[in-house]
C-alpha cells in the first residue's frame, strides 16, 4: 500500500493562482448551488488547495462570510440619482429580491450576521434612490428599516411557498403604497 503524500514546493506554472477574488467567486458559486455558505474545507476542496491557504487571504470564517455576502449584495441594482426615485427604488427592491431568490441561503446568512457590510451596500443604494426626497435622518432610518423588513419578509415568504406562486413582480402594489406614504411625508 502506498500513501500519496502532498506535493511540496511551488505550484506548477499551469496552476491557477489563488486570490481573494477567486476564493469569493468559488464561494458564490457553491452558495448558489448548495444554498448556503460553504465550509472552509469544501471551499478549499473546490479550489484544490489546502484549507489553510484560504486563511492567508481571510483572517477567519467571519471575514470570508463578510466578503462573500458583500460581493453578492453589490450585484443589486445601483439607482441613478437623477432618475425617477420611485422607478429607481422599485428596480432596487426587485433586484434585491431576485438576488435573495437566486441564493437561497443568503437571507438566513444576512440575518445572522453581526457585521454591517452588506446592509451598508443596500443603505447606500436606498439613499441614491431616495435622494430627491430630502428625508430627515429619523424618517430616512424608519423608511429604510420598514422597507428592509418588508423585503426580507417577502423573500422569506417566497422561499417557503408551496402551491401559490409568490413572485417578485407581485411586489409592485405594496411597494407603490409604501412610496405614496413616503411621498406624503
Last residue of a domain, one of 70, 93, 111: 70
The enclosing domain of 161 has a CATH number of: 1.10.357.10
- 55 and 138 part of one domain: no
- 61 and 112 part of one domain: no
> Average per-residue pLDDT in the chain?
88
Does 7 reside within a domain?
no
- 50 and 132 part of one domain: no
Does 126 reside within a domain?
yes
Range of the domain at 54: 20-70
pTM of the model: 0.84
b/e map 19-55, b = 16+ CB within 10 Å: eeeebbebbbebbeeeeebbebeebbeebebeeeebe
Does 4 reside within a domain?
no
- 60 and 103 part of one domain: no
Q: Which pLDDT band, with edges at 50, 70 and 90, does 97 fall under?
A: very high
Instruction: Give the mean model confidence (pLDDT) for residues 146-160.
Output: 92
- 29 and 83 part of one domain: no
CA 118 – CA 66 distance, rounded (Å): 8
Q: Does 180 score more than 90 pLDDT?
A: yes
The neighbour count for residue 175, using CB atoms within 10 Å, is 19
Instruction: Give the mean model confidence (pLDDT) for residues 159-180.
Output: 86
C-alpha distances out from residue 72 to 103, 110, 132, 147, 178, Å: 9, 11, 27, 19, 26
Q: Which pLDDT band, with edges at 50, 70 and 90, does 1 fall under?
A: low
Does 44 reside within a domain?
yes
Number of domains in the chain: 2
DSSP letter for 39, please: P
- 152 and 137 part of one domain: yes
Tell me the pLDDT tens digit for each residue of 71-93: 999 999 999 988 899 999 999 99
Tell me the pLDDT tens digit for each residue of 8-64: 544 444 456 899 999 999 999 999 998 888 999 999 999 999 999 999 999 988 899
Q: Which pLDDT band, with edges at 50, 70 and 90, does 161 fall under?
A: confident
Last residue of a domain, one of 70, 105, 130: 70
Q: What is the pLDDT of residue 163?
A: 61
Q: What is the pLDDT of residue 164?
A: 66
Q: What is the pLDDT of residue 8?
A: 52
Amino acid at each position: 500500500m502506498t500513501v500519496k503524500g502532498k506535493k511540496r514546493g511551488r505550484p506548477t506554472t499551469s496552476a491557477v493562482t489563488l486570490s481573494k477574488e477567486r476564493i469569493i467567486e468559488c464561494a458564490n458559486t457553491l452558495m448558489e448551488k448548495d444554498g448556503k455558505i460553504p465550509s472552509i474545507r469544501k471551499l478549499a476542496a473546490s479550489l484544490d488547495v489546502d484549507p489553510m491557504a484560504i486563511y492567508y487571504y481571510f483572517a477567519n470564517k467571519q471575514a470570508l462570510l463578510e466578503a462573500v455576502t458583500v460581493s453578492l449584495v453589490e450585484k443589486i441594482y445601483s439607482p441613478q440619482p437623477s432618475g425617477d426615485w420611485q422607478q429607481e427604488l422599485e428596480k432596487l427592491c426587485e433586484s434585491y429580491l431576485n438576488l435573495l431568490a437566486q441564493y437561497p441561503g443568503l437571507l438566513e446568512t444576512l440575518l445572522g450576521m453581526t457585521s454591517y457590510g452588506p446592509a451598508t451596500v443596500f443603505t447606500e443604494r436606498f439613499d441614491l434612490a431616495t435622494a430627491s426626497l430630502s428625508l430627515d435622518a429619523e424618517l430616512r432610518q424608519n423608511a429604510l428599516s420598514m422597507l428592509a423588513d418588508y423585503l426580507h419578509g417577502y423573500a422569506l415568504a417566497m422561499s417557503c411557498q408551496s402551491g401559490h406562486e409568490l413572485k417578485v413582480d407581485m411586489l409592485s402594489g405594496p411597494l407603490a403604497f409604501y412610496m405614496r406614504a413616503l411621498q406624503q411625508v
